[in-house]
Amino acid sequence: MRIAVIGGGPGGLYAAALLKRLDPARRITVYERNAADDTFGFGVVLSDETLGGIEHADPDAYAALRAEMVRWDDIDIVHRGRTLTCGGHGFAALGRRRLLAVLHARCRELGVELRFCTGAPPAAELSRTHDLVIAADGVHSATRQAHADAFRPSVTTHRCRYIWLAADFALDAFRFEIAETAHGVLQLHAYPYAPDASTVIVEAREEVWRDAGLDRLDEHGSADHCAKLFQEALGGRPLRGNSSQWTAFRTVVNAHWSHGNTVLLGDAAHTAHFSIGSGTKLAVEDALALAACLREQPDLPAALAAYEAERRPVVESTQRAARASLAWFEELAGYVDQPSRRFAFNLLTRSRRVTHDNLRLRDPEFVASVEREAGTEPGTPPMFTPFRLRELTLRNRVVVSPMDMYRAADGDPGDFHLVHLGGRALGGAGLVMTEMVCVSPRGRITPGCSGLWTDEQEASWRRVADFVHTESPTAALGVQLGHSGRKGSTKLMWEGIDEPLPDGNWPVVGPSPLPYRAGVNQIPHALTAVELGAIRDDFVRAARRAARAGFDLLELHCAHGYLLSSFLSPLTNQRTDAYGGSLDARLRYPLEVFDAVRAVWPAERPMTVRISATDWAEGGTTGEDAVRIAAAFAEHGVDAVDVSTGQVVPEERPAYGRSYQTPFADRIRNALGVPVIAVGAISSWDDVNSLVLAGRADLCALARPHLYDPHWTLHAAAEQGYTGPGAPWPLSYGAGSRRPPTGRTDAPKPRLAL
């Protein structure tokens, strides 16, 4: 088998060495356009997991690498002159030059042909003379670009500039440091990679970089400027470069990783921001997987398919974490005013891979100190601290998110709603929200949606509220009021989500005559000023009914493409009158409704608003817009912003993943100081503790976990050994407050040998 490897970086070299070791008969050639001792950058960080894979696959290569590595456990975070240390992290690093030298030696030992100072022929040409072409030609991959129609790459350039430098001494920990200057915030990421050397990366937002004049400095000038900026961290020592340039990070994603007998590996296939130390790690893991799949599969097409199937989920998970991390650093200026320990905890948990519980295992005293600074009572997980909105004190930070149940009859909630909402109030959540309660018959999404436009509906909701307040007296019950707009008159979710009713349709309305799906959903009637006033009055009447029914909190639904949301998005609002055009104009009607409702809602009871912080679609609402939208509601007196995303247009492309919507809430909270409710694939109590303690959210709304387990909050308390007032067990349920034994499987085993 003839194999050509384009690119002599760590991924390409390691792939060549593994493939040759597994089958010495393979003829493998590595093309590298630079000289053998040329390299850019300085230190490389590898995880224990990756090193374990190398040890298993090639013990000789592992032994050579291990001899070169430096290890450390601590992370130092310097915030406004105060250094906070968190231990137990376990890093290993070595110089990139030494890594390449070890891999060069291993390749030569195995018989791989290394061609330095030699540009590779085009992949298309190599593919005709070789059985396999491995394109490991980096973030600027010529192979990927030449076959863009097959690989279908997407490259996103981000908002910070950074430069790789080095210091000729070894730091004793991984160090993050913040420099607050007249031009803005810059950050340092630094770590040792040899007994006498450290990598130093300096990063800043594009506008800060330009305002500071760094765009006009050469390599030497940049190194001098950064050394002065972080002179305390460096002990007054200089920094040096190695063909170092300021650049913007680019996230590379490919729809396909192989084309014929050509396959992408490492940065050519995917990139992940350096702040989670992943580039070389991912490339080496790619090489391991590719070599294994070529050995296990019957032919090359099957092997390349198996390689991508194995690696893609891992890479996508890493890229999600990396995007969260880089976004955190892009918004760093919004966090620097946090108390030092909260800032440090926030930084450490920024990617969502490191969590509150995980850090407690690594360094319990560090986490305890963060909790003390936050005023958390000893032995109380952050999620069980109370939170106050106006005169309402919530017993904990858990919210049962609004979930449409589609079980009402003519808008009237029945026994199902009593059991559904009452059960979750008994289950320990601090705030239980109703589904979207519609303000008129034509404001329903489906025939099964509940409402608050009749006396009978008001009485039914009072029955639910009375049950909650009697049987779970410290739980709060909130109502979400909304109007379906152009997304109304559709089937029940399980009969066909967003599909029109087969008969009995009612007319739908919106800001503009734009159907949710052209040719499928109705064309909405564009509301006149008079009709807008009538719908506003529907909201007011429903709010009065909600107050009389006994709800503790009211939320105005301005998300998910329903009526008020469709006024906010430029994709759904194309009006030319006072209610369309600029964002301020698009905000006009939702704010009018908010003000009218707030005027009749009891002053002591809080009012929140749910927004879609992004449409996940080109030309739609952006994260920057969301901050302005939240600010407008805050100016009008909103008590908290419930930050969701999407569901505005069907062509959306959400970046799904664990807690994927929480960065939008985080951004609003830290930009405006307004309380926020975070939602979006928050599934564990560890996530809730992490978000609350880091100051990314004040409350966390969970939906599906509460469908899986109505007593999710009580079980979270039991699993953490918490028995305080933040999660009181109903007296009738007290005997169930401990996890029951699982049976004989966990019984002591008999002694069967001396």
Residue 359 has pLDDT above 80, yes or no: yes
Residue 185: per-residue pLDDT: 97
Confirm if 231 and 100 have CB atoms less than 8 A apart.
Answer: no
For the segment 396-402, the average pLDDT, to the nearest whole number, is: 97
Percentage of the chain lying above the pLDDT 70 cut: 98
Residue 507: per-residue pLDDT: 95
Residue 750 has pLDDT above 80, yes or no: no
Coil, helix or strand at residue 564:
helix
Residue 705 has pLDDT above 90, yes or no: yes
For the segment 396-417, the average pLDDT, to the nearest whole number, is: 96
The answer to whether 2-331 and 355-360+397-726 have equal CATH topology is: no
What does the pLDDT look like over 466-501, one tens digit per residue?
A: 999 999 999 999 999 999 999 999 999 999 989 999
Residue 748: per-residue pLDDT: 65
Residue 657: per-residue pLDDT: 81
64-73, 189-198, 297-306: the lowest-pLDDT one: 64-73
Residue 335 has pLDDT above 60, yes or no: yes
What does the pLDDT look like over 578-628, one tens digit per residue?
A: 999 999 999 999 999 999 999 999 999 999 999 999 999 999 999 999 999
Residue 745: per-residue pLDDT: 58
What does the pLDDT look like over 637-690, one tens digit per residue?
A: 999 999 999 999 999 998 888 888 999 999 999 999 999 999 988 989 999 999
Residue 754: per-residue pLDDT: 59
Q: Which CATH number fits domain 2-331: 3.50.50.60, 3.60.10.10, 3.40.50.720, 3.30.470.20?
A: 3.50.50.60
Residue 744 has pLDDT above 60, yes or no: no
Catalytic annotation, pick one of 14, 162, 307, 562: 562
Q: Which residues contact 387 (CB under 8 A, 6 or more apart)?
A: 393, 394, 396, 397, 430, 675, 698, 699
Residue 545: per-residue pLDDT: 98
Q: List the one residue out of 44, 32, 111 whose CA is nearest residue 283.
A: 44
Segment (H or E) for 676: strand 676-678
Looking at per-residue confidence, does 270 or 497 come out higher? 270
Coil, helix or strand at residue 246:
coil
Distance CA 221, CA 229 (A): 12
Q: How confident is the model at residue 87 (pLDDT cuts 50, 70, 90)?
A: very high
The tokens for 437 are 């309660």
39-43, 321-325, 395-399, 443-447: the lowest-pLDDT one: 39-43
pTM to 2 decimal places: 0.90
Distance CA 125, CA 143 (A): 11
Residue 56: per-residue pLDDT: 84
75-79, strands of its sheet edge to edge: 82-86, 75-79, 174-181, 184-194, 197-205, 153-167, 247-254
Distances (CA, A) of 167 to 75, 126, 186, 313, 588: 18, 41, 18, 36, 55
Residue 142: per-residue pLDDT: 97
Residue 474: per-residue pLDDT: 93
Write down the domain spans for the chain.
Answer: 2-331, 355-360+397-726
Distances (CA, A) of 230 to 351, 610, 699: 25, 42, 37
- Residue 62 annotated as catalytic: no
Residue spans of beta strands (DSSP E) within 147-270: 153-167, 174-181, 184-194, 197-205, 247-254, 258-259, 262-264
Q: List the one residue out of 139, 142, 132 whose CA is nearest residue 9.
A: 139
What does the pLDDT look like over 503-519, one tens digit per residue?
A: 989 999 999 999 999 99
Classify domain 355-360+397-726 by CATH number: 3.20.20.70
Distance CA 593, CA 609 (A): 11
Residue 669: per-residue pLDDT: 94
Percentage of the chain lying above the pLDDT 90 cut: 87
